[in-house]
Every structure is written in structure tokens, then in C-alpha cells.
Amino acid sequence: MTMMLYLSFLALALPIFESSVPYIVLVAISHLLALVIVYPWYRLVVFRVSEGSWTSGFLRFYLVSSSFLAVSVIGLPILVEIMGVSVLAAQSLVIPMSTVLAYLINRSWTFRDHGSVKRW
């Protein structure tokens, strides 16, 4: 869901702003918009979290997602500028590398069940 929403934002933004805004900036903006929209869905439906702070949960979610944004920021210029791949095609190649890992990190850290965490 996140990937589809993110790629949709990016696909809309590129033809409109590509000549005036660097594609890496459009990637970051599309990333942030997608995260703000999908966070409630992940929290309430995917991971079924009803306890804890929405703010701290979003910050953890954004931290995990930002690490994967960094992969895009590093990988895209290599694919786009050196190998000549279009921005959307390059992003489509980079995203699958991080999707499963992001899910596992979000499940075990961002949206973990705080009641099952053992305390000393």
C-alpha cells in the first residue's frame, strides 16, 4: 500500500515539477506524504495497535521509513544518472529490496505489543 501510494505521488509530481525541482526532492516529499497517509492504516488495521502514543509511534514509523528513504537517495542517482534508468523505473527497482525488511522492523519495533515486552 505504501509503495503504491508513494509511486503514485511521485508519478504525479515528476511531470509537473521535474524541470524546476530535483527528483530527489520529489522523492522525499512523496515519501513523507505517503507515510502521513498510511500510518493510521498500519497502526489500526495492519498491526492492530490500540495502546500507546500516536506521536511516538509515528516517529518510530518515520525513523524506520527514513532509513529506507536513504537507500533511495543513494540508489536512485546511481540508477538514474549513471545507468540511465528513468526515475520511476529506478525507484521500482530499489523499493522491493526494503519492503520485507521494513515490515519486519515495523512489526517488531514500531508496532510491537508493549504488553508482551518483558520488563526487568
- CB atoms under 10 Å from CB of 84, counted, come to 8
Q: Indicate the pTM of the whole model.
A: 0.76
Tens digits of residue pLDDT in 35-85: 899 988 888 888 788 788 888 888 888 888 887 788 888 889 999 999 999
Q: Which residues contact 88 (CB under 8 A, 6 or more apart)?
A: 7, 10, 11, 14
